[in-house]
Amino acid sequence: MTMHDTSDDTVDQIIDRAVRASEQWKRTAIADRSRALIAVADALDEQADELVPIAQRETHLAEARLRGELRRTTFQLRMFAEMLPEGLWLDARIDHADAEWPMGAPRPDLRRQLEPIGATLVFAASNFPFAFSVAGGDTASALAAGNAVVLKAHHGHPDLSDATAAVVIDALAAAGAPEGLFQTIHGTEAGVRALRAPGIKAAAFTGSVRGGRALFDIAASRPEPIPFYGELGSTNPAFVTRRAAERDAAGIARDFVASVTGSAGQLCTKPGVLFVPAESSIVAELGAQQLPPATPLLNGGIESGFRESVASTQAVSGVRTLAGGADQDAEAPSPVLFTTSSETLRAEMDTLMSEMFGPAALVVTYDDESELLEIADRLEGQLTATVIGEDDDAIAVDLLPKLSERAGRVLWNQWPTGVSVTWAQQHGGPYPATTAVGTTSVGMAAITRFLRPVAYQNVPDALLPQALQEANPLGIARRVDGILILP
């Protein structure tokens, strides 16, 4: 146990407090929840000059990147706060009693809404020490939904986690939130103990396939299985059509390298495999690119995993180094691009389509565009899939639908790094990209992960939740007897 690890007794006490806080928070007025989220966002902004240097020291990420990430973190808190009062996220539905209901039997009075799922366990990510960590999207959406949060801090930035948590806890207390609404724990064993605790009703995770799958299995094997929203891994393939390659080979090469090497390639949406026509000049353009210098990665675990994945790719017969990677044994790993043929890729699909989490990517040459359809059919689940093409490319008619079956976000002539926090964002995908294909961890739809539907039958109006009362005291849009009624 390290100085940061949380003891078993303390974990149990934290869970008990979270359960009590959740019971209070779910009954807290929506307007008060909204104000509390804004208070947290304001407090984090005010403490930026204290938090960012700690993040720099622990993660090796640049100050500009970290300040931008903190702005994104507070932006999404405020966006959830602004969304709450409108009430659409409650999905309120009212069916009045109908003795003549054509089903063949009378319809009772039924009223349905989404309600908080309960105390939620969030496993923080290493690569986004603000936006996917202590006060990140999982925490924001779970709190907005009306749940207490127990945050398992990432070992890669423990001091930042404690400092950020202190800001969050103080801001919530000043806003009048229940004690124990947000708490943190440290250590792998503490995280597993919390995941097994009966008081925890949902969990969210961002990290590796191996770690995420182990936690998913624990969540599923509990006496009471719970939802586990894991973001695990993705290669994010990008496909360049023949005509697009002819149009702008140099630009494609430049922008691909920027997307691969940004934040030292430590982004879950980094395009890890690029498919280009064999006869195009893109390969030569990539080979001539000046890659960024070597830089320390987030932590020792990330670095060792990166070195192993690079070695596995490099060891495949038919793969050669295209650019960079001069000294992978140096103190910090160098960015590197590999290249191979589509024939080699198809023969070694498991190895070559595995994620290299760091500044590395594989460039695959193809002879005929029809090969792209075959490859798309064999893809595992992805967070993103990209097509660089012309609007009237014939291949796109078949390729885009295939990619939409494999990925949660399909891009056209844009690169996948940079995940905007919006109403329409989808950050998720089929396994192994995530463990819950029907959800997103970014954007306003993320709130639905931490809600569950409850129907009330024949309950007196005064005893109903406000969203379902006849007078609609919240003034929200509702579906009444099948008709959408706007406030």
> Active-site positions?
231, 268
**Helix-strand-coil split of the chain, %, nearest 5:** 45, 20, 40
Q: What is the DSSP letter of 151?
A: E
- What is the H or E stretch that residue 341 is in? strand 336-341
**How far apart are the two ends of the chain, measured CA to CA in Å?**
55
Residue 409 and residue 33: Cα distance in Å, rounded?
31
Would you give the DSSP letter of residue 434? B
* Amino acid at site 327: D
Contact 338, 319 (CB under 8 A): yes
Burial of 54-92, coded b for 16+ CB within 10 Å and e otherwise, reads: bbbebbbbeeebbbebbbbbbebbbbbbebbeebebbbb
Which structure tokens are listed for 477?
């849009």
Count Cβ neighbours within 10 Å for each residue of 191-221 and write b for 16 or more, e otherwise. Answer: bebbbbbebbbbbbbbbbbebbbebbebbee
- Please count the other Cβ atoms lying within 10 Å of the Cβ belonging to residue 113: 23
**Separation CA 38–CA 209 (nearest Å):** 34
Cα 22 from chain centre: 23
